[in-house]
Amino acid sequence: MHVIALNIAPGSRLPTRSVEAVVAEAGVGLVGDRYHGTKHRHVTLQSQELLDRAAADLGRPFDQAGTRRNVTVDAGEIPTRPGTRLLVGDVLLEVVRVSAPCRLLDDWIGPGAAAALRGRGGAACRLLSSGTIRLGDPVEVLPV
């Protein structure tokens, strides 16, 4: 797996902005993102492969930024089991919970989007180390 998109939003209802790299602060979040400074939900991850399946179910394509997730990887399943650790480039993350699709996705992407994304929304993670996450970074699920 590799990072193919990075998005941050300065506020909860403000548009996301695509970036080529983002600074991750351990225990704090992604600099410039709405979750920076929250207790546990520092980064959200999703898979383009699963988004493509959701788009097929929905009957229309949509841009990955519409889901408002921070990191999109090219393929594979995103682990959702709490405690699972991932290495994104040189930044260590730990899954906190499933990142369930919000009903607002029906407004942002279109009717039925939240249902199409159910089970495909990725994971919310906390940052265990600091560093910079960049487009193209490898993503590795670490053994338990």
Share of the chain above pLDDT 70, in %: 88
**Residue stretches of the chain with pLDDT short of 50:** none
With respect to residue 144, please indicate whether it lies within any of the assigned structural domains.
no
Tell me how crowded residue 103 is: count the other CB atoms within 10 A of its CB. 9
Residues 5-46 have pLDDT tens digits of 999 988 777 778 899 999 999 999 999 998 898 887 899 998
Please tell me the pTM assigned to this model.
0.86
The domain tally of the chain equals 1
Residue 120's domain is classified under what CATH number? 2.40.33.20
Range of the domain at 50: 3-133
With respect to residue 138, please indicate whether it lies within any of the assigned structural domains.
no
**Amino acid sitting at position 139:** V
At residue 105, the pLDDT reads 66
With respect to residue 141, please indicate whether it lies within any of the assigned structural domains.
no
With respect to residue 143, please indicate whether it lies within any of the assigned structural domains.
no
